[in-house]
Structure 1
């Protein structure tokens, strides 16, 4: 009996120590950061910019007292950690990063190297790893986070949703989380790629409420191309076409649109509705090879040309072949640029070879980019099938008067 009483007392004592939250923070003591960005200043110092949401302005349908739904805090430091602490000199609340949605890397910093920045993000317990990282193109993270956006009052939410939507429905953009970026950096068979973000229009106008006061927004934030890294340093960019080719190899494009020109003018818009890409590697007589098989199903989205009978199976077969040729062209152009201009494996072909032949990979891995990747034979095959031609068969354009 005495032993049971002692055990009960011990349980009660331990439970008393566990009660409550020793490090709890009240919401009115925190500034919730939804976006952040880092630039490299000319003197080699880091500039950290944080976009903090104003709950009162967001919650009120009338826009609260007319203030901005978010505010910016920015500070410099010899390290990013120092810059973060210096923000406490101007922010009335401690910045809380656990709800971060987007992290912007200034182009100036990306060219210098992002290794130290990633060390902070992965080490600090307040940063979760489910936010997306992008690179500002032709501008700074500070300048980008100043732009006011329509529809989504908090710019960070707009950028987060726009990145996911663009990736799912168009394909040149790519959502990359912190874990994925670090995994690409530490892999011996792959270099990182991040989506680029540009400001279109007048940046000064974009910082004012005039930018969202009318139906047309003169200054906008737009995702554009992919940033190519060699290890942790930015070395160049892929344009929209090349970015689509990269996405086709990397994840397989599930939804997008391709345009096929008509013989007598106009275009046929073909929609991707589902697809997958299989990348296989092998080593033949000591030389690596890559085989890419693309399989996509699609629909006829629009017919902008006359005298094209899409009810004819021969016409459909011809369109399918033309789409297949377009897909192969996207992929080939992207691979060629990576092999000849940047000379870095951004596709993970090295990792594919490693899985296929681990023993051969050991002899290749130290010179993969310079000796093997730049001369790597890549065979590309595409299989495109049109499932539907839409709710009408013959286009009304064929019935219009000349």
Structure 2
């Protein structure tokens, strides 16, 4: 009797644990690396960048493009995606989606509905990055073939991450973070902006990756500023770097200062830590920002004595003034040009004094442009490189 029960139990488990009933073979799927969403003539225009595995593999590549793009239009994003099936030889598979490019016209209209679809779809993972195409459609961006990195989506994502870590002018934002921002009323946020440099019609040609200097390039140009789900405008890469200082997002970058007599000196920022504190001073909301920086001397193009402690103090002082000037400049853009509390000063005031915040919360939009912001920069120079003074100049 016991043996019969065991056999019946095993048969039952075999029936309920047959895990291959919904399997999908790789040969039946089209792997989507990037998705582009435009809004043109009242409809959503969808572009998908599909990987051609035979061209990515070194053994079977025959010189064809490593990716193929398909395009379709629809009244909704979902409808347009389904209509692409009439063009694609395989079913689209979004589980490996790396990047979503939002067209500028859609960004002006509002991205909430599109993000809702991306976050709601069960097949799409929530760790892909979202960027905005500046002065171009998402279709134009996805059509550009790129050298070195065979898959353009991987090239864009790698470039974004490298720029964020080594220069500080980009910001990697995934859909989960974006959904959180869109869930707050009057919320401001930024997305990295990318531009197509060169003739857009040539980017789709295979010759774009066969030349020493490619005629069409993709470049991250700075950050796009959003209020709720609509695009307000852009800041360039230098102001974006200053924003990263204020947002405590600088991992490494460089600064260039003018020498006392003639020439320039370049420093490498190796550490940066920013603390933002809100206070009420004389009954008025005030923001104090403290930025602590560690740097190395990287390049010297002037006659200067790096063995003198006064010279190091001077370098520290000049770097402090330079960064403070640039951060104040981007703060003026946010306060005067866009009236956009991108850095979350309202939340800093709220944390500092919830009682006083409740009194001004409803008027914060009109108060914010006049809020006093004090930036203090502290710089410490740690390294001078392998040479203290240049033997070449001697």
Per-residue deviation, 1:285: 5.7
Contact residue 188 and residue 350 of structure 1 kept, 8 A: no
Counterparts of 1:290 and 1:21, CA distance in 2: 59
Question: Which residue number corresponds to residue 57 of structure 2?
Answer: 59
Q: 1:189 to 1:79 in 2, by over 3 A?
A: closer
Per-residue deviation, 1:33: 0.5
Per-residue deviation, 1:27: 0.8
Contact residue 132 and residue 178 of structure 1 kept, 8 A: yes
Q: Paired residue for 1:99, among 83, 92, 96?
A: 96
Q: 1:390 to 1:80 in 2, by over 3 A?
A: same
Q: Paired residue for 1:358, among 354, 358, 372?
A: 354
Q: Paired residue for 1:320, among 316, 319, 333?
A: 316
Question: Which residue number corresponds to residue 293 of structure 2?
Answer: 296
Question: Which residue number corresponds to residue 384 of structure 1?
Answer: 379
| Cα distance per residue 1:249-303 (max 9 Å; x no partner) | 1233120001011233321010011121111223346532221111111100000
SS in 1 for 2:179: helix
Q: Paired residue for 1:212, among 190, 209, 219?
A: 209
Contact residue 35 and residue 156 of structure 1 kept, 8 A: yes
CA RMSD of aligned residues (A): 2.0
Single out whichever of 205-214 and 293-302 deviates more from structure 2.
205-214
SS in 2 for 1:235: strand
Q: 1:189 to 1:143 in 2, by over 3 A?
A: closer
SS in 1 for 2:334: helix
SS in 1 for 2:31: strand
TM-score (norm 1): 0.93
Matches within 5 A, 1:335-354: 335-354=331-350
Question: Which residue number corresponds to residue 154 of structure 1?
Answer: 151
Q: 1:341 to 1:26 in 2, by over 3 A?
A: same
Q: 1:66 to 1:333 in 2, by over 3 A?
A: same
Contact residue 187 and residue 227 of structure 2 kept, 8 A: no
Counterparts of 1:97 and 1:358, CA distance in 2: 44
Question: Which residue number corresponds to residue 35 of structure 1?
Answer: 34
SS in 1 for 2:150: coil
Counterparts of 1:277 and 1:218, CA distance in 2: 40
Counterparts of 1:19 and 1:359, CA distance in 2: 60
Contact residue 228 and residue 235 of structure 1 kept, 8 A: yes
Question: Which residue number corresponds to residue 15 of structure 2?
Answer: 16
Contact residue 298 and residue 385 of structure 1 kept, 8 A: yes
| Cα distance per residue 1:38-78 (max 9 Å; x no partner) | 1110x2101000000011110125x6122110000110001
Question: Which residue number corresponds to residue 283 of structure 1?
Answer: 280
SS in 2 for 1:192: strand
Q: 1:324 to 1:188 in 2, by over 3 A?
A: farther
Contact residue 226 and residue 232 of structure 2 kept, 8 A: yes
Q: Paired residue for 1:373, among 349, 368, 377?
A: 368
After TM superposition, the runs of 4+ consecutive aligned structure 1 residues lying more than 4 A away are 4-12
TM-score (norm 2): 0.94
Query: Which consecutive unaligned segments of at least 5 residues does structure 1 have?
Result: none
Query: Which consecutive unaligned segments of at least 5 residues does structure 2 have?
Result: none
Q: Paired residue for 1:74, among 68, 71, 76?
A: 71
Single out whichever of 187-196 and 24-33 deviates more from structure 2.
187-196
Q: 1:244 to 1:18 in 2, by over 3 A?
A: same
- How many aligned positions are there? 394
Contact residue 188 and residue 351 of structure 1 kept, 8 A: no
Counterparts of 1:208 and 1:264, CA distance in 2: 50
Contact residue 245 and residue 272 of structure 2 kept, 8 A: no
Counterparts of 2:6 and 2:280, CA distance in 1: 65
> 2:85 matched to 1:88?
yes
Per-residue deviation, 1:398: 3.1
Counterparts of 2:276 and 2:4, CA distance in 1: 65
Counterparts of 1:252 and 1:155, CA distance in 2: 26
Single out whichever of 282-291 and 327-336 deviates more from structure 2.
282-291
SS in 2 for 1:211: helix
Counterparts of 2:166 and 2:268, CA distance in 1: 10
Counterparts of 1:374 and 1:11, CA distance in 2: 71
